[in-house]
Structure 1
């Protein structure tokens, strides 16, 4: 995520549902095209807060998408992926 540039509070408050890795995200109910992360200000159990009160979309580059994809694959192999 260092390549994408989110703030610490934004990163700590991310949820899997905030990450969209598809070229066309309409099947996810999202109108934003391309791989991206939705950053929302919300109350989190870890007390992390996004600095801005406004939500924003952060685009992801190819290397970030590839790295996240590899991470998910490795989590599935270890059986530690929670739904």
Structure 2
């Protein structure tokens, strides 16, 4: 990996519907321009964003629509807990 690749922006998107999904799944991954587009779409749709380069690297190795492996359940649960907290704060501000 060259120096430019090391600092290139990366992004991954997850989706989880507790009523129909067995586990969260990867819905998008990318680096560089594609990562920027993923982040911009998330912002435009008020989707909370959390920065975790190690997790993004691991998620980027999965196929789109692939469920995350059990080894990542704990860390992804922490991400979803963060999102829940953000949603709660935003909900309090708008009510």
When normalised by structure 2's length, the TM-score is: 0.35
Larger helix proportion of the pair: 2
- The higher radius of gyration belongs to 2
When normalised by structure 1's length, the TM-score is: 0.38
